Amino acid sequence: MRDPLFEPIKINTLDIKNRIYLPAMHLGMANNFEVTDQIIGFYEERARGGAGMITVGYATVDELSGNTTNIGAHKDEFIPGLKRLADVIKNNGARSGVQLNHAGRYNFSFFLDGKQPVAPSAVASRMTKETPKALEIDEIHQIIDNFAQAARRVKKAGFDAVEVLSGTGYLISEFLSPITNKRTDEYGGSMENRMRFGLEIMKAIRKQVGDLFPVMVRMNGNDFMPGGQGREELGQYAKALVDESGVDALCINVGWHEARVPQITAAVPRGAFAYLSRGIKELVDVPVIASHRINDPDTARELIADGMCDMVAMGRSLIADPELPDKAKNGREEEILHCIACAQGCFDNLFRLKHVECLCNPKAGYECETACEIAETPKKVMVIGGGAAGMNAAIAAADRGHDVTIYEKSDELGGQLYLAAAPPGREEFAELAYDLETRVFSRNINVCLNQTVDEKLIDDEKPDHIILATGATPMTLPIPGVELPHVVQAWDVLAETVYTGNRVVIIGGGAVGVETALLLAEKGTLDGDVLKFLFINKAETPEVLYELATKGTKQITIIEMIDKIGKDFGKTTRWGMIQDVTRYGVESKVTTKALEITPAGVKVETANGVEEIPADTVVLAAGSRSANDLAAIIESKGIACDVIGDANAIGMAFDAVHQGYKAGMNI
């Protein structure tokens, strides 16, 4: 039977071997706009892994369009580096493209040596907190030519195609949107005028590169901005791009960076935004690519087979597993390491001015320095703890040729990954647990479940090296009343080993406290299948259905000592989680200290004095402590040992994965 994912496709004159498209993603790996070995290594591995087409970038078109960690395409001196990148992609079996973009008002003056960012109008950006300079007509014409000249360089460097980013809140979409375009000349006002800038860029590029060179656009299907542009206007723009500017393919993404609709986090269902690519596909006669949260081959196949798109953009999916295409093609899908949409390494890192990494794949971003060599002397390695840290350590050590055994005290591998997967919209963490477990067993690593390690077992096994990955245990608050029967730990709530009453007070507003609150807040709400049934049968109004989807049966209060909740979430995730806290009616009491738990509730101290919050159940989410009691025993025996993950210091799953991998590789 045919596989829709691996049927060839043509864009203009370009033959592409399959329907998997690696879209441009800012990696933060360029050095003063120059292509680096790190970039080469990253894309070489993904090309070798079987992607049909890879587009790099975005690349800059002038000095104000990006920053020095972007790939440069605004000067001829960057052509040799671009050529090197094009060659490594094509020589490893994929088609190659470069995405061009101008950040407009989304750039920071910090990156521009104090220069003011530019935009169609002087409308401040909520993201940068800066007001841009409104472009003059001659400056607009210069930028149009800058795009064309950058496209010329892309073609000269040997790439197979050029793509222009015409969405996401960057310069072209700033011209398109009435939110940011307040001009009264030929580039503002009517939709026809607001489209002019983007269309003229594409016409200038086509004139520069010729009729046979593939020219693509990545654009929003909906910008999700109040007062912005929805499907109708953007569909009109898509038709104009094809009919008037000769664009050969459209890649459909969603939302501006300022939009309050989640776009890339795990809360977004897989393939959720493909309805937008379907809408565009129905309007144009060129290939249309769907984007966002397509992280497994089955979802990708279904979207193509059902006519939702012609190709699938699998960006972070290929950060997590560069070999996903080849594994899918060759019947090895069970070996795929799936992206779990945590955004901790691929997106949050960019806010920290760090290059892209990956929670799931510790080699991502380090392709040039993570070659696995067989150890000269194989050792007997005991890994104590089968969570994210322990499994990654065991996998890396086994790949080095060591004899590895994992000892896990519970009846399954995965550890706290299953707790992380419990809240709504976080289920993908369980996928990671499964993927890592699959990798463990594929390497014939010995696994001992329901096995507590003590001094006698260590003496009996006589390991050469021990990796202590025993995780953490929840902390108990040192306040009166914690021993009362209606007091439970958040971990037990997440594991669903306890029940809670209708009035719940959660002590601790960090990530665990917020996740526990959201899990409980959904109790009594309607799930997606029920909502769809009621909606299509017009059993209730949309307003009533919204209430039934967000109003549960529990009254939940979070108590937090500091002035905000969710401080230990990543930047990409936190805003969505806090938005849900409000949406589901969870009450948050910050700068509030728990003094005592009583049979009736929790006594707290606020700026207004002492009060008691009624509670049927009190949930402790006050943090955790490292569980590393074996460390001293191991040290006394003189056995080489690495203490990793939460057993070493309380951290995030990202830290556990990377520490585990490093520990295993270093044995």
Tell me the per-residue pLDDT of 411-457, one tens digit each, with 9 for 90 and over: 999 999 999 999 988 999 999 999 999 999 999 899 999 999 999 99
pLDDT of 406 reads: 98
| Region 504-511 average pLDDT | 96
Q: What is the CATH number of domain 4-351?
A: 3.20.20.70
- Report how far residue 614's alpha carbon sits from residue 603's, in angstroms, rounded to the nearest whole number: 9
Dig out the tokens for 485 from the structure: 């029967």
Dig out the tokens for 40 from the structure: 């080469």
Least confident of 18-27, 78-87, 342-351, 546-555: 342-351
User: Burial letters for 236-266: b for 16+ Cβ neighbours within 10 Å, e otherwise?
Assistant: ebbebbbeebbbbbbbbbbbbebbeebbbbb
Per-residue pLDDT reduced to its tens digit, 279-334:
999 999 999 999 999 999 999 999 999 999 999 999 999 999 999 999 999 999 99
Mean pLDDT over the full length of the chain: 96
* 373 vs 592, residue with greater confidence: 592
- Report how far residue 58's alpha carbon sits from residue 71's, in angstroms, rounded to the nearest whole number: 7
| Region 240-267 average pLDDT | 94
pLDDT of 325 reads: 98
- Report how far residue 632's alpha carbon sits from residue 234's, in angstroms, rounded to the nearest whole number: 63
Residue ranges per structural domain of the chain: 4-351, 380-473+626-665, 476-622
Contact predicate 192/239, CB 8 Å: no
What Å distances lie between residue 118 and 39, 75, 174, 643, CA to CA?
A: 28, 20, 10, 50
User: pLDDT band at residue 568, thresholds of 50, 70 and 90?
Assistant: confident
Cβ neighbours of 13 (radius 10 Å):
11
The enclosing H or E element of 20 equals: strand 20-22
- Report how far residue 158's alpha carbon sits from residue 88's, in angstroms, rounded to the nearest whole number: 11
Tokens 């943090």: give the residue: 623
User: Of 278, 194, 285, 277, whose CA–CA distance to 246 is shortest?
Assistant: 285
Q: Which CATH number fits domain 476-622: 3.60.140.10, 3.50.50.60, 3.90.25.10, 3.40.50.10860?
A: 3.50.50.60
| Region 167-172 average pLDDT | 96
605, with CB counted inside 10 A (0-12, 13-18, 19+), is middle
pLDDT of 113 reads: 87
User: pLDDT band at residue 522, thresholds of 50, 70 and 90?
Assistant: very high
Residue 606 in this model has a pLDDT that exceeds 80: yes
- Report how far residue 234's alpha carbon sits from residue 221's, in angstroms, rounded to the nearest whole number: 6
561 DSSP 8-state letter: S
* 375 vs 81, residue with greater confidence: 81
Residue 258 in this model has a pLDDT that exceeds 80: yes
Contact predicate 150/73, CB 8 Å: yes
User: pLDDT band at residue 373, thresholds of 50, 70 and 90?
Assistant: confident
Contact predicate 36/334, CB 8 Å: no
Residue 1 in this model has a pLDDT that exceeds 80: no
CATH architecture of 380-473+626-665: 3-Layer(aba) Sandwich (3.40)
The enclosing H or E element of 576 equals: helix 571-583
Give the whole-number percent of the chain exceeding pLDDT 70. 100
- Report how far residue 271's alpha carbon sits from residue 250's, in angstroms, rounded to the nearest whole number: 17
What Å distances lie between residue 469 and 362, 512, 647, 667, CA to CA?
A: 17, 20, 6, 15
Per-residue pLDDT reduced to its tens digit, 39-60:
999 999 999 999 999 999 999 9
Residue 370 in this model has a pLDDT that exceeds 80: no
Determine what percent of the chain falls in helix, strand and coil, rounding each to the nearest 5. 35, 20, 45
